Structure 1
């Protein structure tokens, strides 16, 4: 389980940030489909730099 503030590598292939490293902002403890919120330095095409991921879609960097 990743913790808040940890650096993680993104494993979701269809993500803009695939294979990029981001920082965990929050980890929800309640049952949720995408409990891990990750923030990145660069923004995507819509101008956002924060998104949610499943636990199996991130790996400690």
Structure 2
């Protein structure tokens, strides 16, 4: 079960953080396409360290 503060591994292959581990920051209650905001320690090419994912694109560690 994905919940705020849990460590997750990213399964989306086209993501910069594929197979990387991040921390869940926010889970939206509304019905959005990508409801889970994950924060990482390293930044991507544009300098951000957060991204939104679907629940089925994450595995809780």
Q: Which residue of 2 aligns with 1:17?
A: 17
2:54 is matched with 54
Runs of 4 or more above 6 Å deviation: none
Aligned residues: 61
CA displacement 1:27-58 (0-9 Å, x = unmatched): 01110100000000000000000010001111
**Structure 1: segments with no counterpart, 5+ residues:** none
Q: Normalised by the size of structure 2, how large is the TM-score?
A: 0.97
Q: CA RMSD in A?
A: 0.6
Normalised to the residue count of structure 1, the TM-score between the two structures is: 0.97
